[in-house]
Amino acid sequence: MSRIDTQVLADRYRLLNPLSEGGAGTVWLAADEMLGRDVAVKEVRLPPDLDPARRQEVLAAALREANLAARLRHPSIVTVHDVIIDQERPWLVMELLSGASLEQTVRDRSPLPVHQVARIGVGILSALGAAHAAGVVHRDVKPGNVFLTRTGKAVLTDFGIAVVDGEVTSGRTGHLIGSPNYIAPEQLRGERGGPVSDLWSLGATLYFAVEGMPPHPAETPIAAIGRVLTEPPRPPERAGGLGPLLMHMLDPAPEARPSFDAVARSLAELATGQPTTGAAGVTGAAGVGGVGEVGEVGEVAGTPATASHPSPPPATPTTPAVADPVPAPVGPPATGRGRAMRWAAAEMAGIAVVIGATFGVTFLLTSDPTEAEQTVRLSESPGAFGTPVDVCTLIPGTMARQLLPALAGEGKPTNDGGCQWPAKGMGLEVRLPGNKQWGKSPRQAHELFVNQRQSTIPSGESAWSWPEIQAGVRSARSTAPTTVAPVGEESFGYDVYENRMTGRLEQSYVIVRVDSLVLQVGYTVVDGSKDGPAIQAGAHTAATWVANALNNQKADE
């Protein structure tokens, strides 16, 4: 390996020692001396005889990778902090991950068991869903670009040849095509490719993880291209129940591949051994092609609207979660904000597994109401809340200001019995899905909770606004239900991202049941002052305040 002792980039990043080296360059352990943290620095190696045009192409690709990765905020996508041009070479500064690539892991050890491969698939599928929701197609999903951390998380890396919706790519050369064994047939034929092309590449990557070889093994790249274009995949021998799903994902015809949500459901089943609601089977191609998906999430009966926040139309399940992920999609509970715009591209109907990185652990969320009813035995008698609760008293202004520093005064009641705490650039809200919950039993509340979870479906592009926090009409995309650290007696969450622009998370919601009440608690930040995990943590904190206040009221009665 090459060595650059004590070299400092941009008067800030001190290179310490190489972590890995390949044909394209070296990844270094480095110290960020400004922030006092360790980072990984990717040195893109340029051959000395490279012609000027090709040199500019590689530099442009590195800058594109940094720009794309920086705008995609997801726990299963590597974070790029900075890009530097030094010694006429690009250097990408990234988060430091401890572990090894999927390719290295399999080659150094052995093929992985089916349940572990399925968990990896759930995480990377969620990352792709976040990228596709932002209009980005990765185009180079392969074992070398899937990193397995020591904590069990799978992270998607290397967006160097990704393309953005509407971007012209005809001027790029074949040097940036990727690895033939993991490139979808339509891309090898010179077509642009789309989200379903990434799905094919993910199928080939998972095939390698469980079989120890690519689906079209060949001795040379040219031979691999020929086999991908003309031959079916090698029948898997170790994949068990994962095999039929992989073969369906590897269908040469893009339109014949399963939907993202169907793949997510099946992977979630295989990862946990538990069926998800409406999950397609994995015993044959026909059994994989329905709707469904992965994530931490549920649909809606519809939350009553206020004048300024019209109720959204019900979402339709369409197409499109490293860590231990979660299950299937079905459309976001009504948030009280209008989602007037629907995105036309079915393949990019968002996924979903925002992993609760804030809480350090992810839990499996089952969205099957039948299974839930079998395990939950609740009273049919009227619960603790027989008369309306003043929701605004659940979060006093002094407490709300911990999340909303600019808040003036107390919460403001909404005309559906909820409450809002608007401040400049951010706000809190608490709503009662289904309204008229007073006097219901815990059992009835549980059924409402299950309905809310199952009706939380990843939505296509939509629009919402909240004038009181200076949020004009904004493009958005909602995730499927996400598992959160326990709140109240039952809880789940979902998130809303700024769609196709920055991919930035702006809203996070936690739906919580306390005795006979179900409430939706939301935290919105549109001024860019908080990142995704902080917004998720804020929603969880507010939901905890609400649950504790309700439990205190129960105890006082």
CB 452 within 8 A of CB 433: yes
Single-letter code of the amino acid located at 7 = Q
| β-pairing verdict for 154-156 and 146-149 | antiparallel
Q: Catalytic residue positions?
A: 140
Q: Cα separation of 114 and 207, whole Å? A: 10
What are the phi and psi torsion angles at 464 (to 5°)? Answer: -150, 165
Q: Characterize the bridge pairing of strands 25-32 and 37-44.
A: antiparallel
Rounded Cα–Cα distance for residues 537 and 367 (Å): 23
The DSSP code sequence of 477-535 is EE---B--S--SSEEEEEEEEETTTT--EEEEEEEEEETTEEEEEEEEE-SS-S-HHHH
Q: CB of 315 within 8 A of CB of 459?
A: yes
For residues 58 and 175, give the distance between their C-alpha atoms in angstroms, rounded to a whole number.
Answer: 9
Which residue's entry shows tokens 């039952």?
Answer: 490
CA dist 40 and 301 (Å) reads 47
Q: Where are the beta strands (DSSP E) in 145-280?
A: 146-149, 154-156, 163-164
Instruction: Collapse the DSSP code of 331 into the 3-class scheme (helix H, G, I; strand E, B; otherwise coil) and give the result.
Output: coil
The helix (run of H) or strand (run of E) holding residue 67 is: helix 52-71
Positive or negative CA dihedral for 542, 546, 547, 552?
Answer: positive
Q: What's the N-to-C CA distance of the chain in angstroms?
A: 71
DSSP-derived pairing of the beta strands 490-498 and 471-478: antiparallel
Distance, in Å, from the CA atom of 350 to the CA atom of 280, rounded to the nearest integer, reads: 19
CA-CA distance, 315 to 47, in Å (whole number)?
51
Helix 114-133 × helix 195-211 angle, to 10°: 160
Q: Would you say 496 and 335 are in contact if contact means Cβ atoms under 8 Å apart?
A: yes
Q: Is this structure's pTM higher than 0.85?
A: no
Q: How far apart are CA 287 and CA 98, in angstroms?
A: 37
Are β-strands 99-101 and 146-149 bridged in parallel, bridged antiparallel, or unpaired? antiparallel
**431 touches 383 (CB < 8 A):** no
Q: Backbone phi, then psi, for 216, in 5-degree steps?
A: -125, 70
Q: Residue 396 is encoded by which pair of tokens? A: 């006093």
Query: Could you say which DSSP state residue 363 is in?
Result: -
């190489």: which residue's tokens? 18
Q: Across-strand partners of 9?
A: 13
10 Å CB burial of residue 360 (0-12, 13-18, 19+) is: exposed
| Residue 23 confidence (pLDDT) | 58
Helix (H) or strand (E) holding 427: strand 426-431
Between CA 207 and CA 269 the distance in angstroms is 17
Which domains, ranges and CATH numbers included, belong to the chain?
Answer: 8-94 (3.30.200.20), 100-167+178-288 (1.10.510.10), 347-556 (3.40.1000)
Burial class (CB in 10 A: 0-12, 13-18, 19+), 70: middle
Return per-residue pLDDT of the chain as tens, 557 residues: 344 456 899 999 999 988 877 656 788 899 999 998 899 998 877 767 777 777 777 677 667 666 766 677 788 888 888 888 887 777 889 888 888 899 999 998 889 999 999 999 999 999 998 888 877 888 889 999 999 988 778 999 887 555 554 444 444 333 434 589 999 999 998 887 889 999 999 999 999 999 999 999 998 888 999 999 999 999 999 999 999 999 999 999 999 999 999 999 999 999 987 665 443 333 333 232 322 233 322 222 222 233 233 333 333 333 333 333 333 333 333 333 332 222 222 222 222 222 222 222 222 233 333 333 333 457 788 889 988 899 999 999 999 999 999 999 999 998 888 999 999 999 999 999 876 788 888 988 888 888 788 777 666 667 788 999 998 888 788 888 888 889 999 999 999 988 645 678 899 999 999 999 999 999 999 998 998 899 999 999 999 999 999 999 888 76
pLDDT at 316: 31
Report CA-CA distances (Å) from 263 to 90, 151, 257, 464.
37, 24, 10, 29
